[in-house]
Each structure stands twice: as C-alpha cells, then as structure tokens.
Copies of this chain bind each other. A is one copy, B any other.
Amino acid sequence: MRSEKRPDPTIIEPTDAIIRLSATCVCGSDLWPYRGADPVTEPLTMGHEYAGIVEEVGAAVSTIRPGQFVVGSFFASDNTCEICRAGYQTSCLNREILGTSGAARAERMRVPLADGTLVATPDLPDDDLIPSLLATSDVLGTGWFGAVAAEAGPGKTVAVVGDGAVGLCAVLAAKQLGAQRIIAMSRHESRQQLAGDFGATDIVTERGEDGVARIKDLTCGLGAHSVVEAVGTQEAMLQAIRSTRPGGHVGYVGVLHGVHLAGDELFMSHVHLHGGPAPVRRFLPELIDLVWNRKINPGLVFDLTLPLDQVAEGYRAMDERRAIKALLRP
C-alpha cells in the first residue's frame, strides 16, 4: 500500500462530476484484499469513501453545481431506475462501482452519474463536521442499513455483531431508530466505550456460541428481535442468526467471505435475513441532515487522522486494530 502521483481525473461522460476531496479514509472492507483474503493480481487504486467540493460538472449534470460540498456512496447510481426508486441504489441498473476504478483516495476524483450519486450539504460545512460527513459516505450509511434491515425500532432489543466502525455506527443507528435496548458485542475497551457513547445499553464480550448464550440470557432465552452482522465471517453470521429470536430480523452488512448457510438451520431458525451492499444513497439526505444539525457525531469512529501520503500507516493501524478507522487528509 503506497501513495503515488497519478494524472488528475477529467470529465469523461457528460453525467460526470470532478470533486476535490476534503477527506477520505480507509474502509474495513479494504482490509480483505490488504490481508490477501481477496486475490490481488495487479496494482489497484483503492478508496471508495469521499466528501468534498465540486470543481467541474459535465454538460448533462443539472442539479449538482461547482462549489457545492457533496457526499456520495461507493456505487454511483442514476437514482431514477425502478431499483433505485425502491431504495436499492447499490443494485442500480446503471451502477458503477467506485474505489478500485474510481480512486476516491486522492486529491481529486471523478464521480459518474453525478446527479443521481451525489448529495449536497446546505452550505459549505464547518471543518469539524467533515469527519462525520465523510462517515455518512459509507460506514454510517452501511451501519444504518444494517439496523434498518434488522428492523431496529421502538420496543426492540438490537444486538450488533462486530465492533468495527460499521458495527459502532449500527449501534448509533439503532439508537436513532428508537431501539429500547442495544447490545454491542465487543471485547475492546475503547470500542466498548464508543459503543456506549453511541447508545449501547449492554456490552457482551463473549463470541461464537458463548456470545449467543449471553444474548439469550439477556433476552429471557428468546434471542434479540434484531441483530446486525457487521463482520462478514462464517462465525459472525452464525452468531447473528443464532442470537435472533424466531420471527426476528438479521441485517447483514459485513462483506461475506467464505460463508455458507445450511438450509435446514436457516429453515428452523424462523429469522428474516436481509442485507448486502448498503444502498447508502437512500439514507444520505437524512444522515447528512442529522450530521448538519449536530444530532449525531459518527465522525468519532475516526480515531486516527493522517495526511493522505501516509495511507500505508492507516492500513497498518487498522489491520493491527490499533485504530478503529483512519481519516486521510489530502
């Protein structure tokens, strides 16, 4: 992992915008290829979380204007097709993945389908809001989708498997969505602390079957109503399913790696399963509003800030779990 000089991006399609990044960051999902869990056969540009100021727009862009501060998601989407209108912009019929091709970890980036993809803030933000606005781009939007997919809400007991930035944001989301009880599964003190700040009412340190037993203990033997899976491994997914009561909901947002679900267990579990690549765009207007009005502070997940050219240290710190999430300033 290194920082290097690359040509500045330019408008290619008339629906493109060029933005100058105010901040970018390292995603937990970037650790999969970093650790070799995803095959990497040639050099990749990486980075798919971004917020910044529009510098230029293509001729067909009508709502996004130069000078605006904008946030977008890791998939560009037209936001007009039937799938987008149903709220699944990450499965947009015209989606384009950013990151490996889009290189959001840079000074400038090209965003396709700018009108559909980008959401502008009401005005230029104060500098201290930028980490939280950047968080809406992926980790908050993803944790939020996990909580929505798990049907977190009033009267519900919500458990969150995974104490990375997404899991912590799922705790924040569950709190905002009105959950009655929020159980964070974490064995790291600094993350337990942040989970509490975000609204967790209980901390469970056990994992696997012991973690499931602990959740059952806390819920009269029934399991939680809603469980968010924010890891992506077989162990975490089974922990999530088994921690959910019959009729309850599992929202899974960890990128699943090597996970296989046995049909007979799923059948008898009686849970609802929903998840996948979070359609962050669906939630961006609401999340930006909450950040703008200082109702939430998801930027607290960034516990390390580095200049962009020290990106390699950001990966190392997250890989070694010294940092929850590294923010990079171009």
Enumerate chain A interface residues (CB-CB to B < 8 A).
Answer: 82-83, 86-88, 90-91, 93, 220-222, 232, 234, 237, 245-247, 252, 255-264, 266-277
Contacts and interface: CB of A to CB of B under 8 A. Distances in A.
Given A263-B259, A263-B260, A272 B269 contact: no
A276 B269 contact: yes
B260 A91 contact: no
Contact of A273 (B88, B257, B273): B273
B256 A263 contact: yes
Interface of chain A, main secondary structure:
mixed
Contact of A264 (B88, B256, B269, B271): B256
Contacts of A271: 274
Nearest to A92: B246
B263 A257 contact: yes
A246 B93 CA distance: 10
A273 B83 CA distance: 18
A263 B235 CA distance: 12
10 contacts: A87-B247, A88-B247, A234-B263, A255-B267, A259-B264, A261-B266, A266-B273, A266-B276, A272-B273, A273-B274
A82 B223 CA distance: 11
Nearest to A247: B88
Contact of A270 (B90, B220, B234, B246): B90
Nearest to A258: B263
Contacts of A220: 82
Contacts of A258: 263
A177 B260 CA distance: 33
Nearest to A248: B86
Contacts of A93: 221
Nearest to A269: B276
A234 to B, nearest CB: 8
Nearest to A276: B270
A232 B260 CA distance: 17
A262 B262 contact: no
B259 A262 contact: yes
A226 to B, nearest CB: 13
The CB with the most chain B CB atoms within 10 A, among A255, A263, A273, is that of A263
Contacts of A259: 262-264
A128 to B, nearest CB: 35
A83 to B, nearest CB: 5
A268 B263 contact: no
Contacts of A270: 88, 90-91, 276-277
Contacts of A247: 83, 86-88, 91
A252 B88 CA distance: 22
A262 B260 contact: yes
